[in-house]
Chains A and B, each alone.
Chain A
Amino acid sequence: MSGSDEVIHQSLRLRIMATLNAMPAREQMEFTRLRAILGATDGNLGAHVATLENAGYIKVEKDFVAKKPRTRVAATAKGRKAFANHVAFLRALIEDPPTSLAAE
């Protein structure tokens, strides 16, 4: 089992990954849609999206539709794997905590 993924574990980044991971592989979600689902602000979401993109966990594509800018994001294979590993780590922590925690 892998350890905690510090990139993913932050609350909003965890929710971003959970939201994108629930979509089929290679399917993209518009940034505005993601912002509405998560109830985040543009700046806050943009910063965390950039962190995930830099880690290679999500892919960001920008284009224009009817002369309006559009940003779409999608979880990468690396991101999905990292997310699955992190969730497995969290589950294991609850079901089979380290000895020091179990004694608390």
Chain B
Amino acid sequence: MSLTRDDAAEALRLVEEAGARSAMLRRYENIAPHLIMWGCIYAVAYSIEFTLPQYGGLPWVILGPAGGVGGFLLAQRYGSKAGGGFFSAAILAIVAFVVASVAIMQPQDPKQLAAFVPLVVALIYTLWGLAIGRRLMVTGVCLGLLTVFGFFALPGFFLLWMAVVAGGGVALGGFWLRHA
């Protein structure tokens, strides 16, 4: 069989398409468990904050680090061998950014902090999604829009809104990625 340049070009196009799709789906499979876990953490932590306001940010003090450890384990389980190290460094950078931002801006209302962190997370999902795949980007955009909407439109129920819609939305985003 003799191949022409057009045959070769078409074959290479198929190779690149299939390889890129395979790599994207693999990244989705690696990220999906993180989104599902964090969606559940958002739902539980915001629900406790809403129903038991006397405990303030205590749910986050407990569940935040637990999520960090869980994420590290998931990165090792589903990602590459270097995934755990990358994940740890990324989490530390994000935490440092949030702590520095809060220290500088000093929010007066706890809801401001409750909205700021998911907005940072939404930005990360969106930028990450722009790099690796549309579904993650859509998840980030939706999380950001839902957070802003709840903050301004439902100030009395913002934490409950975040528990149900943002927590549930992120978890659903994880399932959406898994079944891409």
Contact = CB atoms under 8 A, between A and B. Distances in A.
Interface residues on A, range: 20 to 34
Secondary structure class of chain B's binding surface, majority of residues = helix
Contact of B8 (A18, A21, A93): A93
A22 to B, nearest CB: 4
Interface residues of B, number: 21
B145 interface: no
B119 to A, nearest CB: 33
A91 B12 contact: yes
Contacts of B112: none
A87 B13 CA distance: 11
A14 B22 contact: no
Nearest to A15: B18
Secondary structure class of chain A's binding surface, majority of residues = helix
A94 B9 contact: yes
Interface string A17-35: 0111111100000000100
Contacts of A47: none
Nearest to A12: B14
18 contacts: A4-B1, A6-B1, A9-B1, A9-B11, A15-B15, A16-B18, A18-B16, A18-B19, A22-B19, A22-B23, A37-B18, A37-B25, A38-B18, A90-B8, A90-B11, A93-B3, A93-B5, A101-B5
Interface of B: 1, 3-5, 8-9, 11-12, 14-23, 25-26, 80
Given A18-B19, A90-B3, A91-B12, 14 more contacts: A9-B1, A9-B3, A11-B14, A14-B14, A14-B18, A16-B18, A19-B18, A22-B22, A93-B5, A94-B5, A94-B8, A94-B9, A94-B12, A101-B4
